[in-house]
Structures are given as C-alpha cells and as structure tokens.
Amino acid sequence: MRPATNALACLLLMTFATAAISQDSAQDYHSLLARPGRPSEDAERDAASKPAEVLAFMGIKPGQTVLDFQAAGGYFSELLSYAVGPTGKVYAHNHSREGVLGPEVFERRYGNNRLPNVEQIFARHQDLHLPKASLDAVLMSMVYHDTYYYRDGLDWGPVDHAAFLAELRNELKPGGTITVIDHAAAPGSDPYKSAVATHRIDKSIVLRDFTAAGFTLVADSDLLRNPQDKPDVQIFEPSVYRETDRFMLRFRKP
C-alpha cells in the first residue's frame, strides 16, 4: 500500500472508532447525568456539552486519577468525580480562588466535602507541580486557547507552551491521555490574536503544540462541530453561546 493510501486508511479507521465510542460506549455514562444531588444548572448544559459522549471519548474508568484543567465552576469535575468513583481522584484546577468566578462558586460545588474525591488546585498554568506519572487523563474543556490569551496586567502569562506541556507530560503516566475541546477559529488564525478577539483557536495550532511536546494524536471527533457557526464571532455572543463550532482531540503520552 502506498504511504498516502495507508495514511488515509488510518484516518478512516480512527474516524469510525471515534463514532463508535460516541454512539455506543456513551451509554455507560448517561446514568451519571441523573445522579441525585447534581445541580440543576449543570443539567441545563448537557444538551450542548454532550458530557456522556465526552467521558466516553476520554475513556474514563473507575479508579483513575484525572486533572480537570481550568475547571471553572466544576461542571466536568463533578461528572469526572462520579465516573472515577471513590477509588479514583479528580484534581479541579483553577488559576485563582479569587478570580472571575469568586470563592462562593467553589463553596457551592465542593463545600461540606460534597465531592470527597475532588481536590481543588489553584495555580498558574505551568505551576501545577503534581506528582510525576500520577495522572491517567487530563481534560482541557474550552480552555487551551486561554494559554494564548494575554494582556498587560494579567498575571497568568505569557505562557511558555513548551514548558507547560512538558510539565503535563511529566505528570501523566505512560499511556496517559489529554483531551482538548476548544472553540474553532478560522484556519491560519494567529492564536494570540484569536484568543483575545474571540476566545477561539485554530485546531492546527493545538496539533502543532502537542505534537512538538511529544504527544501522539489518537482520536479526533466531530461530536461538537457546528458548521453554522462563524469563526470570527466572539464565543460569548448570545447567537453562539454554548453552540460554537468545537473540535475535540485526544492525545496520548507514549
């Protein structure tokens, strides 16, 4: 088989495998969405976020240790907590306890030991300092573009992407994975400009960065794609809020 033909065959096999995960294996995670005590505002996001399919794409299993990077209010952290179970662990990371969300958001989610297998981490992007080879999986849900977002006075940047991804690679176990979901920018967009203007990123930038950091792409899903979205629209505009065109990639540490 010629190299180009072989590459095409591999791509097709990957596409079919991803579709099977989304349609079949997701059934194992749907019961988590109806867990008693789950906040009603979380359920309102489910139709747009497709969390059962995302967890299936990630391949989350009981007993795993998972990092929810830039977890914000903890929508996915809670579901990951359910999925890994009492023998697993979730790190819910945010840049600052006193940031945009405010401490009351974290208190509602995690107060009174509500999710006992979740540990909150407040740290700059490349200062996580988790134990070496301790993570089975990392989720970056609509936040990788923020590593390119920078303006004067913002204390989290500019981010050294090589150092940042090298730290995550060190903290992942061999075979551990990182799933990246993000808002799609126009192909060829400068990531620094698109992050500031629209909070989006060109998929090819993510592929470039993770490949350069030694990760292998193992799955690419169209689950959250929306061809009706326009890549120059800011993601918080009411016309596209939670309905943006999003790509989803899973990388593995060799």
Look at residue 25 in the predicted model and tell me its pLDDT: 65
Contacts of residues 79-87 at CB distance under 8 Å and 24 or more positions apart, as own/partner, are 79/29, 79/32, 79/33, 79/51, 79/55, 80/55, 80/139, 81/115, 81/117, 81/118, 82/32, 82/35, 83/29, 83/32, 83/55, 84/60, 84/117, 85/117, 86/116, 86/117, 87/62, 87/63
Q: Is the peptide bond before 158 cis (omega within 30 degrees of 0)?
A: yes
Higher pLDDT, residue 1 or 230: 230
Average of per-residue pLDDT values in the chain = 89
CA-CA-CA-CA torsion for 252, 136, 34, 122, nearest 10 degrees? Answer: -100
- Segment 161-177 shows an average pLDDT of 97
- Segment 149-159 shows an average pLDDT of 79
Encode pLDDT of 3-46 as tens digits: 333 443 344 344 434 444 444 567 789 999 999 999 999 999 99
- Segment 125-131 shows an average pLDDT of 91
Q: Are 142 and 68 in contact (CB under 8 A)?
A: no
- pTM comes to 0.89
Look at residue 140 in the predicted model and tell me its pLDDT: 98
Query: What CATH topology corresponds to 3-252?
Result: Rossmann fold (3.40.50)
